[in-house]
Chains A and B, each alone.
Chain A
Amino acid sequence: MTPKRRQRLILVLLLLAGLALAVFFTLNALKHNINLFFTPSQIVAGEAPEGVSFRIGGMVQDGSVQRSDSDLSLQFGVTDTAQAVTVKYTGILPDLFREGQGVVALGQLQDGLFVASEVLAKHDENYMPPEVSEALKQANKGKYSDTANEAKQ
C-alpha cells in the first residue's frame, strides 16, 4: 500500500468514526422521541403526557378482556408485568389480538383510563407449527406465551 493510499484510507476511517459518533449522540438525545410507546410503568409513574395522544405498549393481561354485549367496544388491561393500565376501545381488532399478546394502542389518558382510538397487535419473534405450540402449552400448562415474552425482556 502506497503512503498516499494509506493516508486516504485513514481519512475514510476517520470520516466513518466521526460520523458514527455524531449519529450516536443524536440518537441518544432523541431517545424518547424515537421510542414508539410508553410502558404501563412509565404511565403510572406519570412520565406520559396529559391531554395529548400517545401510544401505550405492553401485553394484554390474562383474563382482563371484557367485551360489550351491544357493540364493538371492549376493555382490557395492558401490562409490562410490573404495572397495568386499563384500555377502553371501540372498533375492529387486528387478527393477532388476544390475551397474553403484545399490543400498541394510540389514545389519551382520561381519569386513569386509557381511551384508545387505534389498537395494533405486536407480533413476537417466535414461529412454530400449531402442534409444537400445543405440546409446549401442555408442558408449561398454558404458560408458553408468558415465558416467551418474559425471556425477551
Chain B
Amino acid sequence: MATVHMTVNGKAVTGHIEPNTLLVAFLRENLRLTGTHVGCDTSQCGACVVHVNGQAIKSCTTLAIACDGAHVTTIEGLANGTELHPMQMAFREHHGLQCGYCTPGMIMSAVDMVNRKGHELSEHTIREELEGNICRCTGYHNIVKAVAAGAKAMQGMAKAAE
C-alpha cells in the first residue's frame, strides 16, 4: 500500500492505495466520484477525461500514485453549487448528448479546449480537438454546436468573475 495526497475539486484528499490503482479507479471507487466514466479502458474514447494540474488527460491511463500532490478537477467540480458550468448548460441547451455516457469526458475536454484555444472556436477546430473523445450516439453535430456555444458562454463567465 502507498499513501497519496491530492486536491480533488478543491478539497484535500488522502488515499491508501495499491500502486497499480489507476486515477479513474481512485476517483470512482475511493472517492465515489462516479461522474468520471470508464468507456474503452484503452485510452481512446475519452469518457475518463479529467484535469490534472489544469490539463485534460485520460485518467484510465494514469496511475493515481503518479498524481501525488496534484490538483485534479472532475466533472463534479465544474458546477458552482446548483448552478451548472456554462459548458454544461450549453450541452443541455443544444442537446449535446443522447445516452450521456461520454458527456463528462466531452465537457472536460471542451473546457480544456477553451482554456487553450480561446472562446471563438471554429467547427474545424472543435472537431479536430475532439479526436480523443468518442460518442456512439449523436454523430457529434450537437456536441460541436454545444462546445462552440459553451466556449462563448465561458467568456461571459470570465468577465462576470472580474
Q: Do the two chains bind?
A: no
